[in-house]
Amino acid sequence: MTLRQISVDPVGSIAGRDLTRFRIALRDLRTLATILDWLAVQEPPRVVHDVVTQDEYTHDVIVPWSERLVLVFDTT
């Protein structure tokens, strides 16, 4: 089984350094479990704010990062 790499696609105006930082940090995370572990070790720790069900298999996991930046993970 091949697991997909997480792509980081900006929506809106995001500083280049922030985009690069997220692409590097997320490139080796392959499952929701590894993403949640990564969020927990951030300073300060980040938590899931909401999960939006798209259909029976797909969910969007929403994580506030800063006042103007939100991470959304599309999970299947």
Residue 10 placed within a domain: no
* Nearest of 18, 2, 33, 67 to residue 10 by alpha carbon: 18
Number of domains in the chain: 1
Tens-place pLDDT, residues 4-59: 667 788 888 888 998 999 899 888 888 889 999 999 999 999 999 999 999 988 88
Is the dihedral angle over the CA atoms 48, 5, 56, 1 positive or is it negative? negative
Query: Domain for residue 21, yes or no?
Result: no
Ramachandran sector of residue 12 (left: φ over 0; alpha: ψ -120 to 50; beta: rest): left
Please report whether residue 55 resides in a domain.
Answer: yes
pLDDT value for 4? 65
Q: Is the per-residue pLDDT at 1 higher than 80?
A: no
Distance CA 64, CA 48 (A): 8
Query: pLDDT for 48-69, tens place per residue?
Result: 999 999 998 888 999 999 888 9
List the beta bridge partners of residue 73: 61
Domain that holds residue 59: 31-75
Q: Give pTM, 2 decimals.
A: 0.79
